[in-house]
Amino acid sequence: SDTMSVDNSEPVMHDPAMVFHSWSAQAALAPLELVSAQGVHVQDAAGRDYLDFSSMLVNVNIGHQHPRVIQAIKGQADALATVGPAFGSRVRGEAARLILERAPGGFGKVFFTNGGADANENAIRMARLTTGRDKVLSTYRSYHGNTGAAIVATGDWRRMPNEFARGHAHFFGPYAYRSEFWSDSPEQESERALQHLRRIIEAEGPATIAAVLLETIPGTAGILPPPPGYLAGVRELTHQHGIVMILDEVMAGFGRTGAWLALDNYGVVPDLITFAKGVNSGYVPVGGVMISEPIAKAFDERVFPGGLTYSGHPLAMGSIVGALTAMADEGIVENAARIGTEVLGPGLAALAEESALIGEVRGLGVFWAMELVADKETRAPLPADRMARIKSGLIGAGMLPFVQDNRIHVVPPCVITDDEARAGLAIYREVLAANA
């Protein structure tokens, strides 16, 4: 077919010679050139096929080249390809309606952004403006995006060369496998992590804190589902002190966990929800903030001092409408839940039993992490050189893996079939055995 063919008349790849890449020293880059894809499969310029167990950057929830998303973008391009943010737009209203349908009760409006970072940026702005307070608390084990406040709210190393925004403080969230709190059960981890946050709030001064910003399930930091009671406890603390609770659903939202939003798994209702990635599976860049009614109302008479040329861009809005209706019609979120319970969960647990390298497996839906260790007793992380060998082994065996620190994140599209999930598990098994 057309999409499978490689154009050999144009042998020069100007990327990476002329493209400046994210998060990289530029000199030695040799990215795999991707030319086509369908569903869970991706093809490179040499004609090799890969199982995409990364969903690119954990965002292609609906799978590659879903015809209804592509059709929605084409249809909108034909009708009206661009609209300024100050004008009304039917497709924008429809996208907002479909998003709010998936929000908990009490959410009334959506502010659209270009991606996840500026979604968090604007949620922080709303929290600061409505509370009149300044500080934002977030966890060390987090990633919230690569712009002014979002990168400083981020807890991992990427914050440190970028600490130019003020008013941020960090704390430790729960992580039972590598507890900061000397706990030996999920319940104790939850209780002690909440006590730690309570003390941080007291020590920073509750009246100075605008927001607590949390990923519902920290993603890049290791796919860390919160232990029982943790999110409810954070909700209680933030209510108690008049602090805005922001849940970052950029990676965990829109099907990834087998629920529409990750927060549905925990019954917690924050004040603001940020989203991007899975809302349209990244076919056009987009993100946004779901705004609870009291915060939305605060800007009824008062000007919201923020905006973007492409807020609610019609091609992005068309892709959201296409993606969310197709996900509902085709039971794609239910498929993610089922694959997690029936195939990936048991398959990864069996793999952890047989492999000396897997210290822990955790997750739900199509959102899992395997934590690789040099020693199951000491839990010492598997060193970087061995992780690099495993990563090349997986690519060589026909998988696009997601490898982060000493972990493999098992994050295929939500549309994955049982057979594709089993094929991925077989590749992990073979490559881990070869590298044990």
Residues near ligand PLP (CB under 6 A): 57, 115-117, 120, 143-145, 215, 219-220, 248, 250-251, 276, 287
Q: In what order do the strands lie in the sheet with 168-171?
A: 107-113, 287-292, 272-275, 244-248, 209-215, 135-139, 168-171
Shortest CB 151 distance to ligand PLP, Å: 9
Cβ proximity to ligand PLP, 43 vs 216, nearer residue: 216
Shortest CB 261 distance to ligand PLP, Å: 13
Q: Are 229 and 190 in contact, with CB atoms under 8 Å apart? A: yes
The set of long-range contacts for 345-348, using a CB threshold of 8 Å and a minimum separation of 24, is: 347/421, 347/422, 347/425, 348/410, 348/425
Cβ proximity to ligand PLP, 138 vs 190, nearer residue: 138
Shortest CB 266 distance to ligand PLP, Å: 16
Nearest to 261 by CA among 273, 244, 272, 246: 273
Cβ proximity to ligand PLP, 116 vs 225, nearer residue: 116
Interstrand relation of 209-215 and 135-139 (parallel, antiparallel or unpaired): parallel
Cβ proximity to ligand PLP, 181 vs 283, nearer residue: 283
Sign of the dihedral defined by the CA atoms of residues 87, 91, 93, 96, in that order: negative
Residue sitting closest to ligand PLP (CB): 116
Cβ proximity to ligand PLP, 170 vs 191, nearer residue: 170
Cβ proximity to ligand PLP, 117 vs 272, nearer residue: 117
Q: Is 218 exposed, middle or buried (0-12, 13-18, 19+ CB in 10 A)?
A: buried
Shortest CB 215 distance to ligand PLP, Å: 5
How far apart CA 131 and CA 251 sit, in angstroms, is 27
Shortest CB 221 distance to ligand PLP, Å: 9
Shortest CB 377 distance to ligand PLP, Å: 32
Shortest CB 219 distance to ligand PLP, Å: 5
Nearest to 404 by CA among 358, 375, 372: 372
How far apart CA 342 and CA 338 sit, in angstroms, is 6
Cβ proximity to ligand PLP, 268 vs 343, nearer residue: 268
Shortest CB 351 distance to ligand PLP, Å: 25
Cβ proximity to ligand PLP, 276 vs 432, nearer residue: 276
Cβ proximity to ligand PLP, 110 vs 351, nearer residue: 110
How far apart CA 160 and CA 91 sit, in angstroms, is 40
Shortest CB 249 distance to ligand PLP, Å: 8
